Structure 1
Amino acid sequence: MTTTSHSNRDLRDEIRDYWSDRAATFDNDPGHKISAGAELFAWANLFRRHLGAANGRSLLDLASGTGEIALLCKELGFAVTGLDWAEPMLERARSKAPEVTFLQADAERTMLPDASFDVIVTRHLVWTLIDPKAAFAEWRRLLKPGGKILIVDGDFVSRNWLTRMIERFSGSTSHGMVSRHQDIVARVYFNRGARSEAVASLLLEAGFENLRIDNRLSAIHRAQAHLFSWRKSLLRRSEHRYAISASAPMTTKE
């Protein structure tokens, strides 16, 4: 037990340090920053489709990164709190959205009070979790009765014949960062890829209800396509990407 706990703590530190080192150039990578126009419109439609009208509801953006999703949710009318494990990411997020409260904490162990939020959203966090069962229980704890969660994620690990062929002809200039990334991915829970069905099963196990898997992300992908090389565009289209929404159970008073 002691050995496992020590290993997990070290891996969390590595994850925090990796994303801290990525912060300075994170928004330069297509697919991270949300561009104005068609892409922003597509993301807003996805969030409205699953969350409905904001109406000032309290929202927690987990793994905020540089604040792109937090800023979007603020513009949609939510009362937003952002949370990230990497302080350099948060420095950039605060400069973009000074009206949003950003906290530094581990998304799997937030230390925030019970029933603090009406909505929780995450983008590209679940596939990196060390212990998704504990994380989903934590997120359910943070939601008010009947609160909503929206996860936008994908399987960025599995490779079919097309992706292997594309990657064979696509070199990388950041070999050190790639090696660190691969080493971390090999040790997370979804090291073989975060498939939507597996994520959904764990959400149900954690007690979430009214679960909905949505693969209709083509409008976002089309809007991003002009930012990518043809190889990256093909790779993006071949990946298993999805949104999953669910509700915390309602409590009834006797």
Structure 2
Amino acid sequence: MQTVTTFSNHDLRDEIKAYWSLRAETFDTQPGHEIFSEAERTAWQTLLRRHLGDGNDREALDLACGTAVVSHLLDDLGFRVTGMDWAEPMLERARAKARARGRAIRFLMGDAENTMELDGSYDVITNRHLVWTLVDPLSAFREWHRLLRPGGRLLIVDGDFVNPGLVARLARKVSDWLGTGNTHNGPSTGALTATHQSILSRVYFSGGARAEAVVDLLRQAGFDKMTVDTDMRAIHRTQKKNFGFLKGLERATQHRYAICAEKSAAG
């Protein structure tokens, strides 16, 4: 008789939390996570400003903030920033970084799918590489809609990391042949790689977080005026010097995007 092991959403969320807690120690050493040049910082700020405008003291919530890379970008643009993450090791590094830079960023431990924040608390919500990990994205998007004030904006930066294009597939084959391995943006150790793959196989977007699927769920959650921005070239150009040739090639040809969605001014 075959034994089938099932995982509840609670179990999977706990695994995701533990995984990112382990990743915290090396998170800022990895290109694509931390920013390694002023040119890259400027490219990210340009993307944020293109969709959100200048901060002008507006309230911003950076969900799954990690070590606060995006939180600091928002702070630089003049937003009043709250960073939220559910991995305490990430938050420890985020708080230390803010102290070192003398920034008054508020950090909270919380679940991006159930923040416990009050209705209409924020003008802007951001997240980077969070959506692909969500267990129930529609519920999460409804939660984010609830948190925004009328006319508020949500900016999602994410991608399909499951279905590589032809160039990425060839890059991986060449990398495997050369023995360089691990051209994806995941962990480098065998145990963490296995955990990463296990989690990826069970999240909602296990088949890949395509922009059109994310937009469809955002509409169901009540958002309108969606903009899908796939022009990430300026960011990729500044990052490629920190990647090997094959990794840089793969990254530049992946389905990566920024989605800006608005909450109706009518609420």
Q: TM-score, normalised by structure 1?
A: 0.94
1:21 matched to 2:31? The reply is no
Aligned partner of 2:185 in structure 1 is: none
Q: Give secondary structure in 1 for the equivalent of 2:8.
A: helix
CA contact under 8 A between 2:165 and 2:254: conserved in structure 1? no
Q: Does 1:140 align with 2:145?
A: yes
CA deviation map 1:150-178 (0-9, x unaligned): 11110011123332332232424511110
What letter corresponds to residue 246 of structure 1 in structure 2?
A: A
Counterpart CA distance in 1 for 2:111 and 2:67 is 16
Q: Pairwise mapping of residues 210-249 of structure 1 onto structure 2 (< 5 A)?
A: 210-249=225-264
Moved more, 176-185 or 160-169: 160-169
Find the counterpart in structure 2 of residue 63 from structure 1: 64
Moved more, 99-108 or 12-21: 99-108
Per-residue deviation, residues 175-213 of structure 1 (Å, max 9, x unmatched) = 111000000000000001101111111111111011100
Q: Deviation digits for residues 63-122 of structure 1, max 9, x if unmatched?
A: 000110001111110000000010000000001113211111110111111100000001
SS in structure 1 at match of 2:241: helix
The alpha carbon displacement at 1:6 in A equals: 6.8
The answer as to whether partners of 2:62 and 2:81 remain within 8 angstroms in 1 is: yes
Structure 1 gap segments, 5+ residues each: none
Structure 2, gaps ≥5 residues long: 1-5, 183-187
| Structure 2 counterpart SS, 1:190 | coil
Q: Deviations over 1:131-168 (max 9, x none)?
A: 00000000000001111111111001112333233223
> Kindly tell me: are residues 36 and 161 of structure 1, through their superposed partners in 2, closer, same or farther at Cα, counting changes over 3 Å?
closer
- Equivalenced residues, count: 248
- Residue aligned with 1:82, SS: strand
SS of the residue corresponding to residue 92 of structure 1 reads helix
Runs of 4+ off more than 3 Å: none
Tell me how far apart the structure 1 counterparts of residues 195 and 159 of structure 2 sit (CA, whole Å): 20
